[in-house]
Structure 1
Amino acid sequence: MPSRTSSASGPLVRIAVVGTGAIGRRHALFCMEEPDVSLVGIVDPAESAGGFAADLGVDHHRSLDALLERHKVDGIIIAAPTQLHRDIAMVAISHGVSVLIEKPITVLPAEAAELVVAARSTGAKILVGHHRRHNPVVQRAREIVTHELGRLLAVNVLWALLKPPSYFEPDWRRRIGAGPILTNLVHDVDLLRYICGEISSVTAQTKASARSHDVEDTVAVLLAFESGALGTLIGCDASPSPWSWDLNSGENPLLPLSRENSYRFFGTEGALEFPDLHLWRYRVDGEPGWTQPISRENRTVHVAADAYRLQLQHFVRVITGEEEPLVSGEDGMRSLQATAAILESAMTGRSVDPSRLT
């Protein structure tokens, strides 16, 4: 099946997907459905990737270099394992091709910095795949926290669920670096930066007590923000629990919806539960305070599309020069630094300034 070359709005944006894990396949399917995109190929050395590409009617290549030799490409989505992000992205950027890199941007902040410098020299754009920022509920929460809570004082985040034994059958998921901090909580750290501002200090402890694995299963984090607000973040992948963005937001159709709220923001004028957007504040005559009844206002947001689809549409506009990346390479690097600071603090027993990590 030949790739489409144009739509009613003009020439199609030619995109290739690197990596055919669960997220890579999801990216590829969205590319096939997006009217302004032509999926030109799949890159993955695995034999199974060839069958997936054949099902979609596109070419399969074992390396990005091989694809770029044969196809003209406008953008590349990188959904390979994180340890490969830097090298794959550098190939694309060296050809002047813009990239959407799944989170985290790289393993080390220094690798992310290399990509940023390279992109500046070639003109390629970097969009980091912190897809939750594209969710209208997240954007509305940011507006409420910024404009309706008064001065932000504190935030509390719970991320807890039970990963079954089958999840850990691949050996790499039991090893250092594959735990919930870098795999899952990097999303929450990025949302906290997006909604609350930059993180200036991180203090953390981790435990690996629920399973006989090398990797952590539980983490407690104290955050200080440049604004003066404080935050706490509890993460655990070994407890039956309904409190996590994954189970609360309804964003992933493969997961059951718990309808609990896992984020709470506290300001001088009100408090917000998230993602359901319950806004709490006093609407009373006289002096407000804990002896008065408090009111709950339910804010609603119409979510018309999957955040991954919205992210792809934004990537197309980044490629065509209509928009700047919502999550740039520098931005993705700062989220990686803040997440890496959790691991550094847990290892050293000291508070860590994320901006000092390289």
Structure 2
Amino acid sequence: MLRVGVVGVGNMGRHHARIYSELSKEGEVEFVGVADANLERAKEVASQFKTKAFGDYRELIGRVDAVSIAVPTSLHKQVALEFIENGVSVLVEKPIAESIESAQEIIRAAKKNNVTLMVGHVERFNPGVLKLKEILDENLIGKVVTLTAKRVGPLPPQIKDVGVIIDLAVHDIDVMSFLLERNVRKVYARAGSAKNPLELEDYAIIMLDFENATGVVETNWLTPHKVRTLSVVGTEGIAELNYITQKLILYNHEWVKEAKVQFKEPLRNELEHFVECVKKEEKPLVNGEEGLHALMVAIKALESANKDEAIDVEFT
């Protein structure tokens, strides 16, 4: 039985704990425990999901085979490396790290220690996104010309170490790269801080140059309600996806069709995939290099906004 745990049980980590608890009841994993620097919070979550609480994540080392890491981004490298170096497979919540160098260090360590490294780009496991990929692969809307994403909403109070580009825009950067099977070649962004108390950017418009298409991402923490949409324009039609409802509609000059999408929680899909990859020693859908690419483009977008010029993205 695969032994799993969660490090960091704030907003996102709590959901990881909930799903591991469900998987444990189904006999898929043994849910060993949760760790959080706030021991009271760890105890509360552990009590809710019938597992053990630890105030120091190092107490999970030796007890688990795989772990979800949902601590603040600035701590990803430190926590991930300790587990990896002790032979534990890790799912690191997105973004993979706070810097390119830290991300590369995590990737190297995972390869050296022969453990599974997965990055939590949860939208990759959204049934609407997976169905859209099928539609593009079947050429149902022709050659893709543009992709336009809108990912806006109120400021999450728990996000204190990165701005809206690295926290939110990375989702759509990764999804667009996945749909097109291409890395971003060049990025141009405009961004600023309107209300963020830490003066981190809280709004941005990002243009992504792919080899065969152009992507645009609008993101902010200023909109009072959450919006998560993606529009893909092809030479023979367009596809409109609502990430939240997983509703996917295709349009062309002759008809309007709604794709049949079986609704399922993306995070549940993601954690089931992670568990299977660890058990079977298979490469995950979102590996370290893909997490690095999304982070690199986000960092280059910040650089572009600061310099007010397009920036090349070098990725090998």
Instruction: For 2:35, give the aligned amino acid.
Output: V
More strand by share: 2
Determine the C-alpha separation between the residues in 1 that align with 2:145 and 2:188.
18
Question: Bigger shift: 232-241 or 313-322?
Answer: 232-241
Given candidates 270, 274, 287, the residue that maps to 2:237 is 270
Q: Structure 1 residue 203 and structure 2 residue 192: aligned?
A: no
Residue of structure 1 equivalent to 2:219: 235
Map 1:224-303 onto structure 2 (within 5 A). 224-227=209-212, 229-240=213-224, 244-245=227-228, 262-275=229-242, 276-283=247-254, 295-303=255-263
TM-score (norm: length of structure 1): 0.80
Unmatched segments (≥5 aa) in structure 2: none
Determine the C-alpha separation between the residues in 1 that align with 2:72 and 2:44.
20
Unmatched segments (≥5 aa) in structure 1: 1-11, 246-261, 284-294
Q: 8 Å contact 1:145–1:272 — kept in the other structure? A: no
Shift of residue 237 of structure 1?
1.9
**What are the Cα deviations for residues 47-69 of structure 1, in whole angstroms up to 9, with x where unaligned?**
21134324434332232322225
Larger radius of gyration: 1
Q: 8 Å contact 2:205–2:216 — kept in the other structure? A: yes
**What are the Cα deviations for residues 216-243 of structure 1, in whole angstroms up to 9, with x where unaligned?**
222111111022x11222222213466x
Q: 8 Å contact 1:340–1:354 — kept in the other structure? A: no
Residue of structure 2 equivalent to 1:310: 269
TM-score (norm: length of structure 2): 0.90
Residue of structure 2 equivalent to 1:41: 33
Determine the C-alpha separation between the residues in 1 that align with 2:169 and 2:224.
17
Q: 8 Å contact 1:201–1:353 — kept in the other structure? A: yes
Count of residue pairs brought into register by the alignment: 306
SS at match of 2:199: coil
Determine the C-alpha separation between the residues in 2 that align with 1:231 and 1:32.
38
Q: 8 Å contact 2:207–2:214 — kept in the other structure? A: yes
Residue of structure 2 equivalent to 1:218: 203
Instruction: For 1:199, give the aligned amino acid.
Output: V
Determine the C-alpha separation between the residues in 2 that align with 1:32 and 1:345.
43
Given candidates 43, 47, 52, the residue that maps to 1:50 is 43
Q: 8 Å contact 1:78–1:99 — kept in the other structure? A: yes
**What are the Cα deviations for residues 312-355 of structure 1, in whole angstroms up to 9, with x where unaligned?**
11111111116420100111111111111111111122212233
